[in-house]
Chain A
Amino acid sequence: MLGLDKKDLRLFIIVVAISMLAPFILNPFPEGSAMAQFNAGYPDLMQRFVIFGILAIGFNILFGLTGYLSFGHAAFLGVGSYGAIWMMKLVSLNVIPAIIMAVIVAGIFALMVGYVSLRRSGIYFSILTLAFAQMSYALAYSVLTPITGGETGLQIKPADRPILSNLQDGEIGRANLFGMDMRSSYEMEIGSWLFTFNAGYYIAAVVMILAFYLSIRIFRSPFGTMLRAVKSNQTRMYYTGLNARPYTLAAFVISGMYAGLAGGLLVAMDTQVGPERMFWTASGEVVLMTILGGAGTLIGPVLGAGFIKYMENIISKINKATLESWFAFMPDGLEDLIITLVYPFVGKGWHLTLGLLFMLVVIFLPGGLVEGGQRIKGLFSRKKAEDKKPEAGQSTPAE
């Protein structure tokens, strides 16, 4: 069905089901209970799950398949975002043209960067992409201020009158899809549970599902096989008379367009952009997501993106008072000791947890969460060898 084999179809259906039922799944704890802060089922966070999922899926097409480690992927996200917001400011508040614009702009930019960067491989490629991203960041921050809004970035302002929208005087434009406001939500209360169904989330989720489907097709296509060949042995590819460059460039551009798509969606959800979106730490974050989930696997990047965004939101919200309420049952001395030990890792210190986790994953689980899952599965099933999915190989970059 859909041109997928049985295993991929199963995975795809699971992803569709999870993303459609996310408002339920991510809200397992009743409202007002002590665990309610672990709920992730609010629109803002759910949107980020799927949007960064798209970004990571795109990054994975480049890194997971060809092994080229781009350290400047956030630049495409940022460029796409700027494209989208200008579309909204000038042409239409409908999100579809904005997103299309974002993909086109990011694609063109990726073509230019890729054309130059792909002349080199290995660490030189990483440094070149990093250099391009940092250049875009620096320019967006300083000289290009008339286009990018500099440090303050761009927002939709009351004075903006897009051509294709009929705004009242003084009305601030809002992103919509044929009149449906991105922020409109339907809230459902069942007992003490509160579920929020947000228009923006569902639009982003549908886009994510499409992007995911496309990535499965790319992974299973002859083109995908060619990209894997680039990763495993470029020299041998040359000897068989194939030029690797067009394939890697295509992968790079596709991956950049995915990033642009994510950037466009970010703007559609929350109509603002700032240059910090292109900073190299943002590029590092994409790499983190992909590796954490499992580079080269289909589902890994989505898992990684969700995991990191969840950590970022939930762990950074825990404060001292929360910790005190958790460990209140312990004797005083022990409670203080545990709180002192745990406190540096939560709240503002979540980056520390992230860094540690990341190191642990790279050291012990180079295949990421997916490999972890398979190992656990392997413990419980006797037929270890047969259960291993072929795509779950460890990532090795091109040298």
Chain B
Amino acid sequence: MEAIILQILNGLDKGSAYALIALGLTLIFGTLGVVNFAHGALFMIGAFCAVTLSRLFTLSHEVPVPGEVDFLGNPKMENIPYIYDILGEATGATIIDWAVPLSILFAIPVMMLIGVIMERGLIKHFYNRPHADQILVTFGLAIVLQEVIKYFYGANPIPTPAPDAFRGSFDFGAALGFDPNLIIYPYWRIIYFAFAAVIIGAVFAFLQFTTFGMVVRAGMADRETVQLLGINIDKRFTIMFGLAAAVAGLAGVMYTPINSPNYHMGMDFLVLSFVVVVVGGMGSLPGAVLAGFLLGILESFASMGAVLEVLPGLNQIIIYLVAIIILLTRPRGLMGRKGVMED
């Protein structure tokens, strides 16, 4: 029992990342009909937004420490972040500590902007081209974005810690009435899951309860009719692309404390997220979320010691295996809509 709960919990954080990326992917697919292979790169750029912000906060200058000298007799120098000078030491330290959550505010406009530029600058020209061309051009774009990040930030992972308050683990077992120390779960992963749930909820609420969302849903169902009604659907779809980019970016920002970001993290997630989208059903938002969590949890179950003893290597292939089975038995995916990407 404890083991099962632990594996479900372990699956949740990866599942959250899959779900968020897959949500953005399927949003783009459902609105614009574009298969975006550069979506993983957006996730990666989001993570590097957090890196950039925490680097900006820690930009520092040297000041002599009063009353101390180093071994050569020169005044001892110390690095003081500029932010200490501006906001005072206590506030400054707190801000540096909270760099990752604060990056959310920074990442939203940046990612929206990147998304809109991408859509207007490149994707727009590919609406009427075959899906293969869309895949290829966004694949090229993903390589370019990845290499640009690599050029500026280097190839090594950059550790970006969570705020002090969220370090350490929460004893989940004790809270549920099991023995203490059985189910221990890092705080940040709880935060990540909660964050993902909020974002997913917000996207659904936005689509469901706002006029804008209603128009977008109408556009997804029948683009031509919406256009005939005199609504500029292209503009709204562009904004949706920006929104999808922001969702991927936020997923990346919050993922940095779990895994130190490096330039190829996007690609690693992209392949899996694509599988998630296809399993969930192309163009189905609830399907993407469901499949994301499902596959995340399945992956974590497959990596249990007991399972690996019987079927070694299952954790490596479980997602693909499930995808193959689902695609062959339910061709439209778990919750695919009729008429989307049919043969």
Q: Count the A-B residue pairs with Cβ separation under 8 angstroms: how many? A: 122
Cβ-defined contact, A131 with B324, below 8 A: yes
CA distance A354 to B144 in the complex (A): 8
Query: Is the CB of B133 closer than 8 A to any CB of chain A?
Result: yes
Q: Which residue of A lies closest to B278 (CB)?
A: A127
Interface: A198 (CB within 8 A) = no
Distance, CA A142 to CA B308, complexed state (A): 12
Task: Specify which chain B residues have a CB less than 8 angstroms from the CB of A116 in the assembled complex.
Answer: 324, 328
Distance in Å: Cβ of A146 to nearest Cβ of chain B:
11
Chain A residues near B142 (CB-CB < 8 A)? 355
CB distance from B322 to the nearest CB of A (A): 9
Residues on B with beta carbons closer than 8 Å to the beta carbon of A139:
313, 316-317
Choose the segment among B46-54, B98-106, B124-132, B210-218 that binds chain A (4+ C-beta atoms closer than 8 Å): B124-132
- CB 8 Å contact bits of B305-333 with A (1 = contact, 0 = none): 00000001100110011011001100100
B197 at the interface (CB under 8 A from A): no
A334 within 8 A of B: no
Interface of B is mostly: helix
Given the known interface contacts A69-B132, A358-B143, the answer about A352 and B327 at a Cβ–Cβ threshold of 8 Å is: no
Cβ contact within 8 Å between B140 and A280: no
Q: Are B320 and A135 in contact (CB under 8 A)?
A: yes
User: Is the CB of B233 closer than 8 A to any CB of chain A?
Assistant: no
Q: Is the CB of A202 closer than 8 A to any CB of chain B?
A: no
Query: Is the pair A128, B316 in contact by a Cβ cutoff of 8 Å?
Result: no
B282 near A123 (CB under 8 angstroms)?
Answer: yes
Q: Which A residues between 123 and 139 are near B, CB-CB below 8 angstroms?
A: 123-124, 126-128, 130-132, 134-135, 138-139
Q: Does B151 lie at the interface of the complex (its beta carbon under 8 Å from any beta carbon of A)?
A: yes
Structural contact, B343 and A121, CB atoms closer than 8 A: yes
Check if A384 is an interface residue, CB within 8 A of chain B.
Answer: no
**Contact, CB under 8 Å: A359 / B135:** no
What chain A residues lie within 8 Å of B122 (beta carbons)? 359, 363
- Are B139 and A284 in contact, with the CB atoms below 8 A? yes
* Cβ–Cβ contact A134 & B144, under 8 A: no
Q: Are the C-beta atoms of A143 and B312 separated by less than 8 Å? A: yes
User: Judging by beta carbons under 8 Å apart, are B131 and A122 in contact?
Assistant: yes
Q: Determine whether the beta carbon of A287 is less than 8 Å from that of B136.
A: yes
Q: Which of B140-164 touch A at CB < 8 Å?
A: 140-144, 146-148, 151
B271 within 8 A of A: yes
Tell whether, in the assembled complex, residue B271 and residue A366 are in contact, meaning their CB atoms are under 8 Å apart: no
Whole-angstrom distance between the alpha carbons of A122 and B327 in the complex?
Answer: 13
* Stretch of A89-97, A103-111, A391-399 contacting B (4+ beta carbons < 8 Å): A391-399
Q: Which residue of A lies closest to B142 (CB)?
A: A355
Contact B140–A344 (Cβ < 8 Å): no
Enumerate chain A residues within 8 angstroms of B321, measured Cβ to Cβ: 135
B243 at the interface (CB under 8 A from A): no
Would you mind naming 30 contact pairs between A and B with Cβ atoms under 8 Å apart? Answer: A67-B132, A69-B135, A116-B328, A122-B343, A123-B35, A123-B131, A124-B327, A124-B341, A130-B271, A130-B274, A131-B275, A131-B323, A132-B320, A135-B320, A138-B313, A143-B316, A280-B271, A284-B139, A351-B143, A352-B147, A352-B151, A355-B140, A356-B140, A358-B140, A358-B143, A359-B140, A363-B137, A397-B131, A399-B341, A399-B343
Closest 7 CB pairs of A and B: A143-B313, A355-B143, A138-B316, A352-B147, A359-B140, A131-B320, A358-B140
Task: Please report B residues at the A interface, Cβ cutoff 8 Å.
Answer: 35, 122, 125, 129-133, 135-137, 139-144, 146-148, 151, 267, 271, 274-275, 278, 282, 312-313, 316-317, 320-321, 323-324, 327-328, 331, 341, 343
